Amino acid sequence: MTASAKRPLQGVVNELRHVVGKLPRRSLVTIAGVVTFAVVGTVLLVGSHAATPTASFEPEAGTRSGNASIVSDSGASGSSAVKFSATSGGTSTCPYRFPTPSCVGLPAGWTSTATYTSDRIISADNAVVENITMDGAVLYITGDNVTVRKVKFTHGAGISTERNNYCAANTVIEDSTFTPDGVDWLAPGIDATIQTGGYTARRIYMDGVYEALRVGGRGLSGSPCGSTTIEKSYIRASYPVQCPSTPGWDWHGDGLQFYDGQYSTITDTVINLDELYPNCAGTAPLFLADQCNTGSPNWNTVSCTTIQPWFNNTLAAHGGVISNINGLMLAGGGYSFRAYMPVKVSGLYIKNDSWHFRAADVDCSNVTAGWDAHVATIDGNGQPVSGAAVACL
């Protein structure tokens, strides 16, 4: 904070008195209106628990510019949290249906205004976090309706919409890039690059992350996560760098894992899973786990008697499905597409011969709402060339 910003309020008032004494009456009326407006605005701002006029300009590690500021937050690292002003959202620049790395993530010419190497907590509702770098740390979202836009996540950094068994509502993550950059694992505190649920991810680019997306949080005791949406994104999950040289390393990575989730939609998205089979094998680019232990592995312990009321209500609200997929390209995995809950699928393309066992593991009883899936080759524009139909089981 500058010296002038630290001056006592009384000193500022005295200076104003000195200036006002020299102004004509008409100017005084105008100034009185402006001051009244400012005072009322300040009272409303403080009452809303947002940043105070002085707190909004407290400095913190890292260089900020434009819309970046810091707000007091006793639960945050260093008792402060990043707060950003609202700006307009972007739109897709991808020329074809399915994105490629060149048209998602950070835009060309992007620059970072600050780099953070410790966890940040965004507690203000409706905040916009923009144009920063998270380096090996977690961006925790605890406020509702928060937008994370044009942020670089490097060295295992990621986002969590869950903290202390509470899930933020309606988080939007867009035009951002996530890379591991050679670290051994994810930043401490997260099990996936974006977790836990209740978010929309659009136009994001993940390049070689070890665990990509998680959809869950339905059973949180404090505040459950809501539905999750993935749109126009390019995801590449890959085995950890230390896996090949670590005997017994049990990776089982996923592109998107849905477990204990509320509901999800996926639109025009690419998910690839890079493996080093068999020692560093993942699970699947998309894994929709059975949440009633009726066919999923034994480690699933959620009982049907507990989950059934929610399950029935979700199916009733969403046309009989737990997930709706409209446009998805997959590659890799033992099974590229694994779904053990009711799902509606259209425009699913699985790269030919990219799996180890078969293209899809899905029972026909779980796709009665619709099943349109094909193996495909990939053309020079990164788009699928449809081949033989993929059958359900």
Burial-class residue 111 by CB neighbours within 10 Å (0-12, 13-18, 19+): exposed
Report if residue 61 sits inside a domain: no
Going from the C-alpha of 333 to that of each of 156, 170, 266, 352, 353, the distances in angstroms are 22, 30, 19, 12, 10
Report if residue 305 sits inside a domain: yes
Report if residue 51 sits inside a domain: no
Provide the pairing of β-strand 254-258 with 152-154: unpaired
pLDDT at residue 284 greater than cutoff 80: yes
- Do 22 and 102 belong together in one domain? no
Q: What is the pLDDT of residues 139-182, one digit of tens each?
A: 999 999 999 999 999 999 999 999 999 999 999 999 999 999 98
pLDDT at residue 36 greater than cutoff 60: no
Report if residue 58 sits inside a domain: no
Report if residue 53 sits inside a domain: no
Mean pLDDT along residues 88-108:
88
pLDDT at residue 86 greater than cutoff 50: no
- Do 37 and 154 belong together in one domain? no
pLDDT at residue 71 greater than cutoff 70: no
- Do 215 and 287 belong together in one domain? yes
- Do 122 and 38 belong together in one domain? no
Cis omega (within 30 of 0) for bond into 278 = yes
Domain count, the chain: 2
Q: Which has more pLDDT, 357 or 10? A: 357
Domain hosting 279: range is 66-389
- Do 139 and 186 belong together in one domain? yes
Residue 56: its pLDDT value, please?
29
What is the average pLDDT score of the chain?
81
Q: How many residues does the chain have?
A: 393
Task: Out of 49-53, 259-263, 316-320, 370-374, pick the least confident.
Answer: 49-53
Mean pLDDT along residues 350-377:
96
- Do 222 and 318 belong together in one domain? yes
pLDDT at residue 94 greater than cutoff 70: yes
pLDDT at residue 123 greater than cutoff 60: yes
Residue 335: its pLDDT value, please?
95
Cis omega (within 30 of 0) for bond into 314 = no
Mean pLDDT along residues 316-343:
95
- Do 99 and 234 belong together in one domain? yes
Q: Which has more pLDDT, 300 or 393? A: 393
In the block, tokens 């591991």 appear at 180
Residue 376: its pLDDT value, please?
99
Global pTM?
Answer: 0.77
pLDDT at residue 91 greater than cutoff 90: no
- Do 71 and 25 belong together in one domain? no
pLDDT at residue 68 greater than cutoff 90: no
DSSP string, 309-358: HHHHHHHHHTTT-SEEEEEEEEE-SSEEEEE-S-EEEEEEEEETT-SSSE
Report if residue 55 sits inside a domain: no
- Do 243 and 363 belong together in one domain? yes
Residue 99: its pLDDT value, please?
99
Give the residue from 149, 148, 141, 144 showing the smallest Cα distance to 126: 144
Task: Out of 213-217, 245-249, 347-351, pick the least confident.
Answer: 245-249
